[in-house]
Amino acid sequence: MATYKVDPSHSEVTFKVKHLMITNVTGTFAKFDATLTADKEDFTDAKVTFEADIDSISTNNEQRDGHLKGDDFFNAEQFPKMTFESTAISKKNDEEYELDGNLTIRDITKPVKLDVAYGGTMTDPWGQTKAGFEITGKINRKEFGLKWTAVTEAGGIVVSDDVRLNVQVQMVKQ
């Protein structure tokens, strides 16, 4: 069985949320970890675990980041990690997979389906085998207890319920 660990210096975990329904705000998690195990070279039997430290969230706005870490959203003090554990993977073609798993935010765990684009496997100049993946998906934040909402004077929504996920990972064979 091959085990791969994330290379955080060549990976990023980002999300986008509509603000005022006219533009996107992008956020990142600076501290995260991921492990992939697989017997098969094409990853069709892969098991994936992921976690992100909520305190490492950044939207390039200190006040907003503080609000996101509070109880209106993630409640980082009580629930310091967001986690994902895969339950199934299916190969659509040589570059595309569908990854099913359980996502836990706060104390709520729900099944999610993510799209995975396999970028390939390469040996770096130091002899390390690396595999690249882009994982995308969409969740409804309110289903995970991130319930804060506000409406503008004109009746517009301040923050959308849909959150688009985009994770770029380089995994290093151990």
Domain ranges of the chain: 2-173
Q: Which is nearest to 64 in space by CA: 156, 165, 150, 153?
A: 150
pTM summary value: 0.91
What integer pLDDT is reported at residue 142 of this predicted model?
84
DSSP 136-161: EEEEEGGGGT-----B-TTS-BSEEE
Tens digit of pLDDT for each residue in 141-172? 889 888 766 554 555 455 677 889 999 999 99
Tell me what the pLDDT averaged over the chain comes to: 91
The three-class DSSP label of residue 94 is coil
State whether CATH 2.40.128.110 applies to domain 2-173: yes
Q: How would you classify the pairing of strands 12-19 and 23-29?
A: antiparallel
101, 34 contact by CB (below 8 A): no
